[in-house]
Amino acid sequence: MGAVLDQYERHLALERGLSDHTVRAYLGDVTSLLLTVFGPEPGPDRRLDEVDLAALRGWLAAQRSEGASRTTLARRSAAARTFTAWAHRRGHLDTDPGVRLVAPRPHRTLPAVLRPDQAEALMTAAKSGAAELEPVALRDQALVELLYATGIRVSELCGLDIDDLDMGRRVLRVLGKGNKERTVPFGAPAATAVDAWLEHGRPHLAVEGSGSALLLGARGRRLDPRTARRVVHDAVAAVPQAADMGPHGLRHSAATHLLEGGADLRSVQELLGHATLATTQLYTHVTVERLKAIHDRTHPRSR
């Protein structure tokens, strides 16, 4: 079983090019499945063919009885199907039981987003904090401006190098999930914040090991996503009546404001780097809910 898991890990990391985080998640789910089927010390006569449809259903049923959410069950079902499909192709399984595995549909919760005026207040506060040209404050302003201007993921932002930015055209090159590259534009305020960071902030934090990383931590190394999340949480917390959110909340906000401003779904899908349009369509529900709330609050015959 250990050899099979090693092969599967190489497949996920090298052939499919998944991120370290995704590979760990897939392996964790599959390890849980195999432990349920075989126990911690399977004997030499145990075969992977014991992972059949009944075993998959039993594994999910056990997790459901332990209180796993529909979203968790759906994710683990997807991980199991990915594994059994791979194992069948490699000859470890005679048939693929995952094709007949039905999992509960996950609940799609509407993400919390900033109102446009709240987003403006956030950017104004970041600009005010950077007015004294303190290096970390300049970095934090560039961070929130880029996240909101582009809607990129925090991992994508922290992975940016200086050469990934074309300041003349105001676009950046992003390496997203599955090592898929895309080009994302940003506006003049974000460009101004980045210019200020590169001129007055980054040189004061850069060290020999900084390399070409765009954003740096206080010790001069490439900025860690956990630090970026803390920066965004703290910045949003200072905005009156804003929901608690991190970088993904700014991504949600950027997508929602683009759609409310008239952008089409396919363009927003391309900007965000979504693999399917179905993921982007979640934001249309957000805008409809906000329109309904405005209607209920303002129309004289809404009640």
CA distance 54 to 97: 9
CA distance 252 to 114: 9
Angle at 286 (CA atoms; ends 285, 288), nearest 5 degrees: 65
The helix (H) or strand (E) run that includes residue 72 is helix 70-89
By annotation, the residues acting in catalysis are 153, 177, 248, 251, 274, 283
The helix (H) or strand (E) run that includes residue 172 is strand 171-175
Residue 222, SS3?
strand
Torsion of CA 247, 251, 253, 254, to 10 degrees: 130
Q: Which residues contact 3 (CB under 8 A, 6 or more apart)?
A: none
Which residue type occupies 105? R
Q: For residue 112, what are the CA distances in angstroms to 238, 249, 251?
A: 16, 6, 10
Q: Report the candidate in 154, 232, 213, 149 with the shortest Cα–Cα distance to residue 184.
A: 149
Q: Report the candidate in 23, 103, 111 with the shortest Cα–Cα distance to residue 69.
A: 103
Compute the half-sphere exposure of residue 238: CA atoms within 13 Å on the CB side of its CA. 14
Token pair in block for residue 89: 């192709």
